[in-house]
Chains A and B, each alone.
Chain A
């Protein structure tokens, strides 16, 4: 079979898997988020937590519950990392430094999973499984809970009650994340991923002397890292490491896992608002962006001439032989269009436009399909902006799903749209202005006089784009494990995660208070190809253009020189 056909079939197989999952998974998630019945296990859990599952919360209470579990999560994970040398299966690893522990705790609780450490020589097995993996589960489920609340803002009328955070969280964890993870973890092990626990590392007698082999609960953590669009690797090399991602088959499964919830949530949305067409409209926009970006990146990687190399020899730098270029760009596109940030190849070594596309994917706000929950609330905000712009054009009060988009709603939407770019660009500017901090750019990417090359600037821009959007992938040449980068990074990740959540929940509260407006002749049809096109345009213009000046200093300057 020719390489082109193999590459196309690979994409087709993935699309088929996702398409088959769309209805059943989307409907199942809608069921989880709307049913009145609590299972027996859940009742026990609510009792243990000391919460009343029947209480209906206001958006403020819901938000404070999100903050409470996140604050507890950061403290718990921080403590665990600081005392890991006293835990079982620590493998002789010392405690994690204070600033690195803080950065890592913020990183995993915000669903970013930026890694300033290298797993196999920093963390014991218990810290990985009970610390990082638990946050993988919880942070992903918090995202779905928040988007459920926004959808309820559309479906409920004249109320200030939007659901119960503890119920949403528990159900998503117990009914969705856990069973999925068990099944797929076993599949990964069957394909060669490792899963063993022990107090010592296995010794391997190689030709060059003995080496210690780190294994741990890799498969179990790998699955939730992808399913929950987290991305923090067990190993430094993340999903490029053969123990995490042993074959091109597991590679396909892993890409499926990181996309499947994001691409199925529009169905959940359609089901909950009572119009599947609304879901299809959103998922088609997501799919168009995903396919477009994939074509763009694959083209530049396969026509990669390595700027400096006359005979072109650099396209496989930072890529694995079992994946090759198509399976690497497929992973890269999917991981940066969701908030995953797991990598099976190093984005730093991609061609200038390939790496630039990875950055642009994140800059779009990770909405195609985006992180678990966060992708859908991101694109819903953009849909609101779109109906607003359309309303201005024809001079009508804009409406979306029977709710008026008034100045209050637009203020929250505008704040949402502005928050992430502000975080990304302010922190990038700060890092570039501080002479000491540009020293973290990898020396091979500095120009002759020690000033950053366009690619060096890209490393910094990529870092804050990734952290501000809670992605977690990196142009890995940057040495982020310093006091300044650990601290600034943790702040960027928390602003990028929690400020938008405030705007989303406040918006949900304000929508739910309204009474529904009946649909008339003049109402803009939001389940139509026309609206999908307008939404696509809004995404590219409103969000994409914000970053154009920054992109032109980095990947564009590098690629066009």
Chain B
């Protein structure tokens, strides 16, 4: 050992240290946490997945989906999520909520692009749900940070409810009840904001009042 120069010895120690720490912190640690997670919280650890009657995974309750047709037009029988900028930029017809491209718009408040985008959203929301343009909920016309946000404000859900009830041919009380069932209050009563989970709400609607039956 004594014949090795000090700088060389130091770098050999650094290499060995990094390798040892990689084994402990990069392999053993995540495996241990994964083990505990999979044993104790299997569903949550795998992404809070929801299966349909035939056992197919159809959603994660934590991630938004777009309820639109092939041309990108909103399907009236569903509640709509917030605008999402999580799109694959090489696919111009990507409607958003793309699980592989979480992102926000990153547009600043003096951006002309943001201005025209939001104005366009206000106009179409006001028209679709017959709302005064000055009363359009803010969350309905702004893109979320992650592009994965499954939540909308309670006002936003209330604005959309009549249109959904009409499209499905069911009464408002039923829709209101489902909205209520899928509303999450502030954790501990004061953390964050209250929101309605659009993904679980739409699944509950489909389960209780399938759209195909409503059409007849």
Q: Could you list which residues of chain A lie within 8 angstroms of chain B, going by C-beta atoms? A: 1, 5-6, 9-10, 13, 45, 48-51, 64-65, 68-69, 71-73, 76, 118, 120-121, 129-131, 133-134, 137-138, 166, 169-170, 173-174, 177-178, 181-182, 185-186, 189-197, 202-208, 211-215, 217, 219-221, 235-237, 240-243, 246-249, 251-252, 304, 306-309, 311, 313-324, 327-328, 343-346, 348-352, 355, 442-445, 453-455, 458-459, 475-477, 558, 561
CA distance A48 to B13 in the complex (A): 9
19 A-B contact pairs sorted by A residue (CB < 8 Å): A65-B14, A130-B22, A133-B26, A134-B26, A186-B40, A189-B36, A189-B40, A212-B100, A217-B34, A219-B45, A240-B104, A240-B144, A308-B111, A322-B149, A349-B105, A444-B105, A444-B108, A454-B110, A455-B110
Known contacts A48-B20, A442-B106; A237 and B147 CB within 8 A of each other? yes
> How many residues of B sit at the interface, in one of the four size bands?
35 or more
B48 touches A192 (CB 8 A): yes
CA distance A173 to B58 in the complex (A): 41
B146 touches A320 (CB 8 A): yes
CA distance A197 to B142 in the complex (A): 34
A320 touches B151 (CB 8 A): yes
- List the 5 closest pairs (A to B, CB-CB), nearest first: A248-B192, A130-B26, A324-B193, A240-B145, A444-B113
Known contacts A121-B101, A189-B45, A323-B192; A181 and B29 CB within 8 A of each other? yes
B190 touches A9 (CB 8 A): yes
A237 touches B102 (CB 8 A): yes
Which residue of A is nearest B143, CB measured?
Answer: A317
B66 touches A317 (CB 8 A): no
Contacts of B32 in A (CB 8 A): 182
B26, B138, B145, B153: the one contacting A315 at CB < 8 Å is B138
Contacts of A10 in B (CB 8 A): 190-192
Contacts of A306 in B (CB 8 A): 109, 115, 118
Contacts of A193 in B (CB 8 A): 44
Contacts of B82 in A (CB 8 A): 321
CA distance A174 to B110 in the complex (A): 48
Contacts of B48 in A (CB 8 A): 192, 246
Contacts of A217 in B (CB 8 A): 30, 33-34
Known contacts A314-B114, A558-B110; A346 and B25 CB within 8 A of each other? no
A68 touches B11 (CB 8 A): yes
Contacts of A51 in B (CB 8 A): 13, 17
B31, B41, B145: the one contacting A346 at CB < 8 Å is B145
Known contacts A189-B37, A211-B98, A213-B60; A311 and B134 CB within 8 A of each other? yes
Known contacts A214-B99, A314-B142; A327 and B191 CB within 8 A of each other? yes
Q: Does B127 sit within 8 A of A, measured CB to CB?
A: no
A208, A241, A349: the one contacting B109 at CB < 8 Å is A349
Known contacts A64-B10, A237-B148, A308-B110; A324 and B47 CB within 8 A of each other? no
A453 touches B110 (CB 8 A): yes
Q: Does B129 sit within 8 A of A, measured CB to CB?
A: no
Contacts of A442 in B (CB 8 A): 106-107
A118 touches B138 (CB 8 A): no
Interface-central residue, B40, B110, B153, by most chain A CB under 10 Å: B110
A317 touches B34 (CB 8 A): no
CA distance A458 to B110 in the complex (A): 12
CA distance A483 to B171 in the complex (A): 59
Residues 1-47 of B at the A interface (beta carbon under 8 Å): 7, 9-18, 20-22, 24-27, 29-34, 36-38, 40-41, 44-47
CA distance A348 to B109 in the complex (A): 8
Which residue of A is nearest B52, CB measured?
Answer: A205
CA distance A207 to B72 in the complex (A): 12
Q: Given A170-B17, A189-B41, A195-B45, 20 other A-B contacts at CB below 8 A? A: A49-B16, A194-B46, A195-B34, A207-B78, A208-B66, A212-B100, A214-B100, A236-B102, A236-B103, A240-B102, A246-B48, A306-B118, A348-B104, A442-B107, A444-B108, A444-B111, A476-B104, A477-B106, A558-B109, A558-B110
A49, A205, A323: the one contacting B58 at CB < 8 Å is A205
B59 touches A349 (CB 8 A): no
A196 touches B106 (CB 8 A): no
Which residue of B is nearest A558, CB measured?
Answer: B110
Contacts of A220 in B (CB 8 A): 29-30, 33-34
CA distance A389 to B66 in the complex (A): 60
Which residue of B is nearest A198, CB measured?
Answer: B46
A242 touches B190 (CB 8 A): no
Which residue of B is nearest A236, CB measured?
Answer: B102
Q: Does B176 sit within 8 A of A, measured CB to CB?
A: no
Known contacts A72-B11, A324-B193; A352 and B110 CB within 8 A of each other? yes
A320 touches B142 (CB 8 A): no
B106 touches A192 (CB 8 A): no
B34 touches A318 (CB 8 A): no
Which residue of B is nearest A216, CB measured?
Answer: B30
B37 touches A50 (CB 8 A): no
CA distance A454 to B109 in the complex (A): 11
A345 touches B145 (CB 8 A): yes
CA distance A5 to B31 in the complex (A): 41
B193 touches A322 (CB 8 A): yes
B115 touches A190 (CB 8 A): no
CA distance A346 to B106 in the complex (A): 6
B16 touches A313 (CB 8 A): no
Contacts of A240 in B (CB 8 A): 102, 104, 144-146
Q: Does B205 sit within 8 A of A, measured CB to CB?
A: no
Contacts of A121 in B (CB 8 A): 100-101
A173, A309, A350, A445: the one contacting B21 at CB < 8 Å is A173
Contacts of A320 in B (CB 8 A): 144-146, 149, 151
Contacts of A64 in B (CB 8 A): 7, 10
B44 touches A221 (CB 8 A): no
Known contacts A69-B17, A558-B108; A204 and B144 CB within 8 A of each other? no
B46 touches A202 (CB 8 A): yes
CA distance A315 to B86 in the complex (A): 19
CA distance A206 to B63 in the complex (A): 11
A49 touches B40 (CB 8 A): no
Q: Does B175 sit within 8 A of A, measured CB to CB?
A: no
CA distance A469 to B36 in the complex (A): 36
Contacts of A49 in B (CB 8 A): 13, 16-17, 20
Which residue of B is nearest A453, CB measured?
Answer: B110
Contacts of A328 in B (CB 8 A): 145
Which residue of A is nearest B12, CB measured?
Answer: A50
CA distance A190 to B147 in the complex (A): 23
B108 touches A348 (CB 8 A): yes
Interface-central residue, B20, B25, B40, B153, by most chain A CB under 10 Å: B25
CA distance A544 to B86 in the complex (A): 36
B153 touches A321 (CB 8 A): yes
CA distance A554 to B134 in the complex (A): 31
CA distance A178 to B191 in the complex (A): 28
A196 touches B37 (CB 8 A): yes
CA distance A323 to B139 in the complex (A): 12
CA distance A445 to B99 in the complex (A): 26
